[in-house]
């Protein structure tokens, strides 16, 4: 139990954050594309059965933040779980973690699919300048049963992003994985006035028969949409790998 709970992500995860902490074990969302069970060497059935606070997570977090004095890197909540499972209303682990991080002057970014529960903490977000992010891969609620059968509705996530934006909270949306380019673009259009930064990727970790996406075309279309609407964005490396010379010449800033 002595290992640090705040850690430096490796590989593609590092594009999202320099530091991270995972507050819960398991996630009930049941997302078909979820990479966490494999990373944690768990079966999908066991991982998606329920969520529970990690043992001693808050005391271990308090110990770790003492080492971050003067560190300007932002900490992400969370990579291998959602920081706002429904049981957070009972346990309050994420709210307490936000308070601990704030007391030690550590900047935080949150990524969740449960905006309705997260809204409880918007008072802390405003006070602490915490960034609020949601994963929204498509706009059509009918796709939930196939791809995210246990996750909260798309409407609830969009409403939470819009509410946070109106409160002056910095917002971001992860459009990854992309299941359908048309659906991804629809999300961008619907939320274009409420999102400070878009982080756009592709479908990774799995091969789906019959799902054929021209990633180069999707990349170009996304960049054109972002520029036309004056939106700020980060193109994930796996998607940027499909850029041809024409795309690189027109959008060199997308590589940053």
Query: Which pLDDT score, from 0 to 100, does residue 168 have?
Result: 97
Query: Which pLDDT score, from 0 to 100, does residue 235 have?
Result: 96
Query: Which pLDDT score, from 0 to 100, does residue 256 have?
Result: 44
Domain residue ranges in the chain: 11-255
Give tens-digit pLDDT for 158-188. Answer: 999 999 999 999 999 999 999 999 999 999 9
Give tens-digit pLDDT for 46-55. Answer: 999 999 999 9
C-alpha pair distances (Å), 91 with each of 22, 120, 204: 15, 13, 33
Query: Which pLDDT score, from 0 to 100, does residue 4 have?
Result: 92
Omega within 30 of 0 (cis) for the link into 78: yes
Place of tokens 């798309």: 154
Query: Which pLDDT score, from 0 to 100, does residue 11 have?
Result: 86
- Range list of H helices, 40-134: 44-47, 57-65, 88-91, 93-103, 115-118, 122-128
**pLDDT averaged over consecutive 10-residue blocks of the chain (256 residues)?**
85 91 97 92 94 97 92 95 97 98 96 97 95 98 96 98 98 95 98 97 67 89 96 95 95 70
Burial 33-57 (b: 16+ CB within 10 A, else e): ebbbbeeeebeeeebbeebebbeeb
Task: Report the alpha-carbon distance of residue 81 to residue 84 in Å, rounded.
Answer: 9
Query: Which pLDDT score, from 0 to 100, does residue 205 have?
Result: 62
Query: Which pLDDT score, from 0 to 100, does residue 255 have?
Result: 56
**Inter-axis angle of helices 93-103 and 57-65, to 10 degrees?**
10
Q: Please name the CATH architecture into which domain 11-255 falls.
A: Alpha-Beta Barrel (3.20)
Query: Which pLDDT score, from 0 to 100, does residue 208 have?
Result: 56
């Amino acid at each position: 139990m002595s290992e640090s709970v705040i850690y430096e992500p490796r590989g593609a995860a590092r594009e999202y954050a320099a530091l991270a902490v995972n507050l819960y074990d398991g996630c009930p969302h049941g997302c078909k594309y979820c990479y966490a069970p494999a990373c944690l060497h768990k079966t999908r059935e066991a991982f998606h059965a329920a969520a529970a606070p990690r043992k001693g997570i808050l005391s271990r977090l308090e110990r770790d933040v003492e080492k971050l004095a003067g560190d300007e890197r932002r900490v992400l909540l969370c990579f291998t779980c959602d920081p706002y499972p429904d049981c957070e209303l009972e346990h309050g682990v994420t709210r307490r973690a936000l308070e601990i991080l704030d007391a030690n002057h550590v900047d935080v970014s949150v990524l969740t699919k449960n905006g309705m529960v997260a809204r409880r903490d918007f008072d802390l977000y405003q006070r602490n300048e915490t960034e609020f992010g949601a994963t929204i891969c498509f706009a059509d609620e009918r796709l939930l049963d196939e791809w995210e059968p246990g996750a909260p509705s798309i409407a609830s996530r969009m409403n939470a992003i819009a509410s946070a934006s109106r409160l002056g909270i910095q917002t971001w949306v992860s459009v990854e994985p992309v299941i359908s380019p048309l659906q991804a673009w629809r999300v961008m259009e619907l939320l274009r006035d409420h999102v400070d930064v878009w982080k756009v990727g592709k479908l990774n970790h799995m091969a789906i028969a019959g799902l054929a996406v021209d990633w180069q075309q999707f990349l170009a279309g996304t960049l054109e949409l972002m520029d036309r609407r004056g939106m700020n964005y980060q193109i994930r490396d796996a998607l940027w790998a499909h850029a041809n010379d024409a795309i690189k010449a027109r959008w060199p800033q997308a590589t940053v």
